[in-house]
Amino acid sequence: MKVFKLWLDPKKCKGCLRCELACSFHKSGHKFFNPELSSTTVSRSNENKKIIMKIDDTCDFCENEDAPLCVKYCVFGARGAIK
């Protein structure tokens, strides 16, 4: 699936970081998990719950995957793909 853009919705994000795990799984060639390598980052403030979501320019929109893995493994509807 060719994806050209990802959208993010911090209001729906719960801060579980499954997107970061999924991204690192893709970037490692399906070998390991390491949020540090993720092209997308999520931070949740412990002061006020404010969520900040980002995607950097190392994102390849999950080339060669059926769908972007960060979208597939977000169960809260906080991100999606635009073809």
Partner 1 sequence: MKKTSDKHYGYAGNILRINLTDNKIWIEPTEKYANRWIGGRAINTWILLNELDPEVKWNDPQNLLTFGVGVLVGTLAPGACRISVDTKNVFNDGIGSANVGGFFGAELKFAGFDNIVISGKAKNPVYIWICNGKIEIRNADSIWGKTTWETEREIRQNLNDEKIRVAAIGPAGENLVKSACIIADRGCAAGGSGCGAVMGSKNLKAIAVRGKRSIEVAQPDRFMIAVDKEMGKINKWQLINEIREKGYYGAMGGRLDSPSWEQGYRPVRNGQDEHWGKDKIAKIAEQEIKKYRKATVACFSCPISCKPWMDIKEGPYKVQGEGWWNNSANSYCTKIDNTNLEAAIYAHLLTNQLGLDGDNAAQAISWAFECYEKGLITKKETDGLELVWGNYQVMIEMLKKLAYREGFGDFLADGALKAAEKLGKNSEKFVIHVKGQDSLDGIRINKGWGFGIILSPVAGRHLRGSLNGFWLRSDRPINSYENVPEDIYYNQKKKAVQDMLGLCSYVYGQTVDDWVELFSSATGRLLSKDELLHIGLQTHNLEKAFNTIHAGFDRNDDYPCKRYYNEPVKSGPYKGEHIDHEIWDRMLDTIYRLHGWDIETGWQTRKGLEKIGLNDIANKLEKENRLK
CA distance 6 to 29: 21
Bridge partners (DSSP) of residue 41 are 54
- Map residues 4-43 to x or -, x wherever contact with partner 1 holds by CB under 8 A: ----------xxxxx--xx-xx--x-xxxxxxxx-----x
Question: Closer CB to partner 1, residue 16 or residue 59?
Answer: 16
The answer to whether residue 75 forms part of the interface with partner 1 (CB under 8 A) is: yes
Question: Closer CB to partner 1, residue 2 or residue 31?
Answer: 31
Number of residues that bind partner 1 (CB under 8 A): 27
- The CA-CA-CA angle for residues 54, 30, 5, to 5°, reads 35
Tokens of 76: 């809260």
